[in-house]
Structure 1
């Protein structure tokens, strides 16, 4: 799973860069003051700074092996599909987080009956 970003957590904000073959952008994750439901995002994602255009959202998640992490969804008209990635805490350093991307597996269609 490729690392596509490095982020720093400071005063509730996550700031960092996404770097791929085609993307090189600085983004900021800003906490949502009062998420309306359990499925509402925990953070909004903004380009360049907290006042920049909103380009996505992130949800708090907890995994048995990794503990707390964020599930990110970034979207832009130039992307063929939304980019999904997970932001994990790096080792025991609560300030440094790593953005990991994994291509979603597509489901194969069931073969048609030959009869």
Structure 2
């Protein structure tokens, strides 16, 4: 039997995919990894200390290595129905193709640690 046959089945209507995980740090930053079929990079989401206007990002996303390549930005949002804060990300890199990739930080499935988040990608049409 193949490994694919052994994998747990997921509902067909599930459109969310975790493309990585981040852990909130005591200083308000996040550190973790982005994992896709072609990308595996340690990343850090750092508070934007240079923010001086409401439309500027609250965070900037970088690779967590010597090159420190910027991959995107993030904004703190408030859910319309829940009223709870969440972080919305916008990612751009040649590896993602010509379009931006949009994701949110959400509670990581199966995690008891309140500081562990999944990067949940919502594919655009």
For Structure 1 versus Structure 2, the TM-score category normalised by the shorter chain is 0.7 to 0.9
Whose radius of gyration is greater, 1 or 2? 1
Normalised to the residue count of structure 1, the TM-score between the two structures is 0.78
Q: Which protein is richer in helix relative to its size?
A: 2
Point out where structure 2 has 5 or more consecutive residues left out of the alignment: 1-15
What CA distance in whole angstroms lies between the structure 1 residues aligned with 2:68 and 2:35?
Answer: 18
Shift of 1:62: 1.2
Maintained 8 Å contact 2:39/2:95 = no
Runs (4+) of structure 1 moved beyond 2 Å? 89-94
Number of residue pairs matched?
105
Structure 1 58/72 Cα, relative in aligned 2: closer, same or farther at 3 Å? same
Aligned to 1:104: 124
Point out where structure 1 has 5 or more consecutive residues left out of the alignment: 106-115
What RMSD over aligned residues (CA atoms) do the two structures have, in Å? 2.2
Q: 2:95 aligns with which of 73, 78, 90?
A: 78
